[in-house]
């Protein structure tokens, strides 16, 4: 009996060493240590042994049970570890495969640029004032100090409508008149607004020119607004838009509705002034026209120009986006080709 126990023990221990997976291990456990396993059977059969053998057999059988249980547990742990290692090994995927595409939307680049303007100017106290696209000639021109047949009308080729004296606004500047008259309370309140909107010019559509484009115009009116403020404000905008070390150049220019007038150039942020194709090797990018509001315009807006003063400026968001993203063709903006839009 004891002999048989020892033999079975050796066999079982040897068999356990051969087991490499969970299923075999469970079977071994059932056959060996389980309720109907041989070892359990043998232990159960102790009572049938002669009494003098019982103690020795019982002791030995229990030792074997402890040994086999320990061996089993060690084996089980080993198999679990091996299984896990194999799973981790075999569960590898090609991480360079593309992710599952999500349906995504996006904002038009003009909207994105307009929002930059809203944020930066909003922080400086300039609020958004919008006005109509289809304008009367008076508000678009005459009230802005551009009387009929004035040479300055040549600067802006106009779309006329079949309704006399009704045109598509050529710039957002008529909004200056509307804002002054609406917000100024007969020339008694200061104003700080930006005027975004679509403008229209009678031009051939080419990679560099479009018949419609956004403008963002700014207007500040007060009793103490000076040219130095205009320069400082635009310089602050440039630092926000182009970085803290953006260099700005102001040069004299002409707009009928401002005087003194100036163009603002920012140092080319692509070549840092060394000259490149985008800045036409000049080192400067023209970003904005501006000036002190012309006294005639102030007067037409309801303000006494000997007491009130102001400045105005105008940006082209599409042009800005073209510079910042290297867009070569302005026609992309209203072309709405998804292959373009999806790049934003």
**Interface positions, 153-192, toward other proteins (CB under 8 A):** 154-155, 159-166, 168, 183, 189-192
If binding is defined by CB under 8 A, does position 296 make contact with other proteins?
Answer: yes
If binding is defined by CB under 8 A, does position 89 make contact with other proteins?
Answer: no
Q: Segment 28-47, which members bind other proteins (CB under 8 A)? A: none
198 binds, among Zn ion, other proteins, none (CB under 5 to 8 A by kind): other proteins
If binding is defined by CB under 8 A, does position 224 make contact with other proteins?
Answer: yes
Question: Among 120, 236, 276, 324, which residue interacts with Zn ion (rule: CB under 5 A)?
Answer: 276
Helix axes 2-18, 22-32, angle to 10 degrees: 170
Question: Among 133, 186, 328, 329, which residue interacts with other proteins (rule: CB under 8 A)?
Answer: 133
If binding is defined by CB under 5 A, does position 287 make contact with Zn ion?
Answer: no
Q: Establish whether the linkage from the previous residue to 154 is cis, with ω within 30° of 0.
A: no
Question: Chain centroid to CA 19: how far?
Answer: 57
85 binds, among other proteins, Zn ion, none (CB under 5 to 8 A by kind): none
Question: Chain centroid to CA 289: how far?
Answer: 29
Distances (CA, A) of 221 to 142, 278, 282: 20, 35, 34
CB-based contact 249:265 (threshold 8 Å): yes
Query: Which residues in 204-240 are b (16+ Cβ under 10 Å) and which e?
Result: eeeeeebebbbbbbbbbbbeebeeebbbebbbebbbb
Question: Among 241, 309, 313, 330, which residue interacts with other proteins (rule: CB under 8 A)?
Answer: 309
Nearest-angstrom CA–CA distance, 89 and 4: 43
In angstroms, what is the minimal distance from the CB of 335 to other proteins?
Answer: 8
If binding is defined by CB under 5 A, does position 268 make contact with Zn ion?
Answer: yes
Question: Among 1, 33, 236, 270, which residue interacts with other proteins (rule: CB under 8 A)?
Answer: 236
Interacting span for Zn ion (CB under 5 A) from 228-236, 263-271, 288-296, 318-326: 263-271
If binding is defined by CB under 8 A, does position 111 make contact with other proteins?
Answer: yes
CA angle 113, 119, 123 (to 5 degrees): 150
User: What token pair was written down for 150?
Assistant: 């004035």
Number of residues in contact with Zn ion, rule: CB under 5 A? 5
List phi, psi (to 5°) of 184: -80, -15
192 binds, among other proteins, Zn ion, none (CB under 5 to 8 A by kind): other proteins
């Amino acid at each position: 009996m004891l002999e048989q126990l020892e033999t079975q023990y050796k066999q079982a221990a040897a068999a356990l060493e051969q087991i490499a997976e969970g299923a075999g291990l469970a079977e071994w456990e059932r056959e060996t240590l389980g309720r109907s396993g041989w070892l359990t059977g043998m232990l159960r059969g102790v009572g049938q042994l002669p009494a003098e053998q019982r103690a020795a057999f019982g002791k030995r059988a229990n030792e074997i049970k402890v040994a086999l249980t320990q061996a089993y547990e060690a084996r089980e742990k080993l198999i679990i570890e091996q299984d896990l290692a194999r799973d981790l090994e075999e569960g590898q995927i090609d991480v360079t495969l593309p992710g599952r595409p999500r349906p995504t939307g996006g904002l038009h680049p003009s909207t994105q640029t307009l929002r930059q303007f809203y944020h930066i100017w909003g922080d400086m106290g300039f609020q958004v004032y919008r006005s109509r696209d289809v304008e009367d000639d008076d508000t678009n021109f005459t009230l802005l100090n551009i009387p009929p047949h004035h040479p300055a009308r040549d600067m802006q080729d106009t779309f006329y409508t079949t309704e006399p004296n009704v045109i598509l606004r050529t710039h957002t500047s008529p909004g200056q008149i509307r804002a002054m008259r609406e917000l100024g309370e007969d020339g008694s309140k200061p104003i700080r607004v930006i005027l975004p909107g679509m403008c229209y010019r009678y031009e051939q559509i080419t990679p560099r020119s479009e018949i419609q484009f956004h403008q963002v115009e700014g207007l500040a009116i007060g009793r103490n607004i000076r040219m130095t403020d205009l320069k400082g404000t635009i310089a602050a905008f440039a630092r926000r838009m182009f970085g803290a070390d953006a260099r700005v150049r102001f040069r004299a220019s002409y707009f009928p509705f401002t005087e003194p007038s100036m163009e603002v150039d920012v140092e080319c942020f692509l070549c840092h002034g060394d000259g490149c194709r985008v800045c036409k090797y000049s080192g400067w990018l023209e970003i904005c026209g501006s000036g002190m509001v012309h006294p005639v315009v102030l007067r037409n807006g309801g303000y006494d120009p000997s007491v009130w003063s102001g400045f105005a400026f105008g940006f082209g968001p599409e042009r800005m986006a073209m510079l910042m993203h290297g867009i070569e063709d302005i026609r992309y903006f209203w072309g709405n080709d998804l292959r373009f839009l999806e790049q934003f």
